[in-house]
C-alpha cells in the first residue's frame, strides 16, 4: 500500500497537463482504479482486520485526492498565466490608426477664395469643361485666326467643340442664365485645358477662377477694390496689388494684376525676379460686345472681369515652386497640408 502511495504521488508530481493528471486520477481512484480495487478486497478480510485496513486505504485515498487537488490547482493557474501572457495586449504599442485623408491644397485654396468672394456678395457659377468654339472664342471677341485659338494650344474634341482653354466662356453662360437680371456677380472656378507639355510651370490641365460683375455704374475702381480685397484675404492683409496695361479681346481697357511678392513681401527676391511683384491675373472692363453676347445692353450697364490661375495662386500662397506636385498625389507633399 505504501509503495502504491509513493507511485501515485510520483505520477501526480510528473503530470504536466490536466489531461495527464486526470489519467492518474482514473488509474488510482476511478471505478477500476487501484485504490478502489483495494477497497473492494475489504470483504475478503477477517472481520477484526477490516477497520484498520479500511482506515489505511481511506487515508491513502485522501492523500492521493489531496495531491491531485493541489496539482490541479497548480496546473490551472499555470494555464491561466500562459493564456494571459499569450493574449496580453501591449497598450504601449502604437495603435492601428485609420488613415484619414485630407483636402487637396487646391481644394483648400478654392474654398478660401470662394469664402472671400461670398463675403463680397458673389455666387459661384459652375460652367462646363467641354465647350463650343463659339462660347470659348467667338462670343468673347476672339475672331477666327486669333493666336489663342492656335491648334498648338487648344484641345479640340470635334471641329466645333473643344476643352475650354479658360473659364471666360463661363462669363457668357453665366450672364445668359441671369436673363437680364442685375447685378451679375459671380465667380467661375474650374479646370481648363491647353496643349502644353508638363513642366514646373505648365500643365495640360490646370485651374482658373474667373470673376464677373455687371451692373449699372460699375467702374475700374470697383475692379481694383474688389481684387485688392481678395488679395488681402487670400495672401494676407499686408498684400498690395499693381495693375499694368495689357490686352485681352474680351476686356477694354485690360490689365495684368500683380500682387506683392508673398515670399519677400515686396522687397525683391529670386521668386519675384527681384521686382517685388508676382503676376497673377488678367482683368479689365468687360467689352461691350461681350456684354451684348450675354444678353445685356452695354449702353445701360458696365462691368469688370478677371481670371487667374488657381494653381498659381496656391503656389504663391504656400511657396510651392513646382506645379507638378499638385497633380502627382505624392502623400509626402499632400500631408503637409493636413492641418492647414
Q: What is the 3-state secondary structure (H, E, C) of 208-253?
A: EEEEEEEECCCCHHHHHHHHHHHHHHHHCCCCCEEEEEEEECCEEE
Among 136, 154, 203, 251, binds ligand PHE (CB under 6 A): 251
Count of residues engaged in binding ligand PHE, rule: CB under 6 A:
11
Residue 303 CA to residue 287 CA, distance in Å, equals 8
Q: For residue 12, what is its C-alpha cell?
A: 501526480
Among 282, 291, 293, 296, binds ligand PHE (CB under 6 A): 282
What order of strands is seen across the sheet that includes strand 205-215?
123-124, 184-193, 205-215, 302-309, 277-286, 251-260, 241-248
Residue 257 CA to residue 250 CA, distance in Å, equals 16
Of 186 and 248, which has the nearer Cβ to ligand PHE?
Answer: 248
Of 28 and 306, which has the nearer Cβ to ligand PHE?
Answer: 306
168 binds ligand PHE (CB under 6 A): yes
Among 28, 137, 296, 306, binds ligand PHE (CB under 6 A): 306
135 binds ligand PHE (CB under 6 A): no
CB of residue 339 to ligand PHE, shortest distance in Å = 33
**Calculated CA dihedral for residues 231, 236, 241, 247, nearest 10 degrees:** -30
Give the contacts of 125 (CB within 8 A, at least 6 positions apart). 170, 173, 174, 177, 186, 187, 188
Stretch that binds ligand PHE, among 102-110, 292-300, 304-312, 332-340 (CB under 6 A): 304-312
| Mask for 189-228, x = binds ligand PHE (CB under 6 A) | ---------------------x------------------
305 binds ligand PHE (CB under 6 A): yes
Residue 49 CA to residue 1 CA, distance in Å, equals 15
Q: Let me know: does 178 contact 115? Beta carbons within 8 Å.
A: no
Of 60 and 283, which has the nearer Cβ to ligand PHE?
Answer: 283
Stretch that binds ligand PHE, among 34-42, 127-135, 281-289, 292-300 (CB under 6 A): 281-289
CB of residue 136 to ligand PHE, shortest distance in Å = 10
Give the contacts of 48 (CB within 8 A, at least 6 positions apart). none
Which residues of this protein are in contact with ligand PHE, per CB under 6 A? 166, 168, 210, 248, 251, 282-284, 305-307
Amino acid at each position: 500500500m505504501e509503495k502504491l502511495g509513493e507511485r501515485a504521488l510520483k505520477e501526480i508530481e510528473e503530470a504536466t497537463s490536466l489531461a495527464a493528471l486526470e489519467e492518474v486520477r482514473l488509474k488510482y481512484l476511478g471505478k477500476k482504479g487501484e485504490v478502489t480495487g483495494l477497497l473492494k478486497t475489504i470483504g475478503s478480510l477477517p472481520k477484526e482486520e477490516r477497520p484498520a485496513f479500511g482506515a489505511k486505504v481511506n487515508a491513502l485515498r485522501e492523500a492521493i485526492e489531496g495531491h491531485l487537488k493541489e496539482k490541479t490547482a497548480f496546473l490551472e493557474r499555470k494555464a491561466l498565466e500562459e493564456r494571459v501572457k499569450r493574449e496580453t495586449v501591449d497598450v504601449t504599442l502604437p495603435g492601428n490608426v485609420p488613415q484619414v485623408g485630407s483636402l487637396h491644397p487646391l481644394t483648400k485654396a478654392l474654398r478660401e477664395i470662394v469664402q472671400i468672394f461670398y463675403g463680397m456678395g458673389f455666387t459661384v457659377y459652375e460652367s462646363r469643361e467641354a465647350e463650343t468654339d463659339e462660347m470659348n472664342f467667338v462670343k468673347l471677341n476672339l475672331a477666327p485666326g486669333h493666336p489663342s485659338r492656335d491648334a498648338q494650344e487648344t484641345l479640340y474634341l470635334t471641329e466645333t467643340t473643344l476643352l475650354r482653354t479658360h473659364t471666360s466662356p463661363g462669363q457668357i453662360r453665366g450672364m445668359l442664365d441671369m436673363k437680364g437680371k442685375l447685378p451679375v456677380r459671380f465667380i467661375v472656378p474650374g479646370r481648363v485645358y491647353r496643349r502644353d507639355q508638363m513642366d514646373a510651370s505648365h500643365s495640360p490641365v490646370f485651374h482658373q477662377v474667373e470673376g464677373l460683375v455687371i451692373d449699372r455704374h460699375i467702374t475700374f475702381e470697383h475692379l481694383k477694390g474688389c481684387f485688392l480685397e481678395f488679395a488681402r484675404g487670400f495672401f494676407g492683409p499686408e498684400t498690395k496689388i499693381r495693375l499694368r496695361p495689357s490686352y485681352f479681346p474680351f476686356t477694354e481697357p485690360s490689365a495684368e494684376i500683380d500682387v506683392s511678392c508673398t515670399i519677400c513681401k515686396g522687397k525683391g527676391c529670386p521668386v519675384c525676379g527681384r521686382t517685388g511683384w508676382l503676376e497673377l491675373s488678367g482683368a479689365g472692363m468687360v467689352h461691350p460686345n461681350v456684354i451684348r453676347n450675354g444678353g445685356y445692353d452695354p449702353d445701360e450697364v458696365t462691368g469688370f472681369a478677371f481670371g487667374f490661375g488657381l494653381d498659381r495662386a496656391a503656389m504663391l500662397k504656400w511657396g510651392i515652386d513646382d506645379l507638378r506636385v499638385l497633380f502627382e498625389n505624392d502623400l509626402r507633399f499632400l500631408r503637409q497640408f493636413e492641418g492647414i
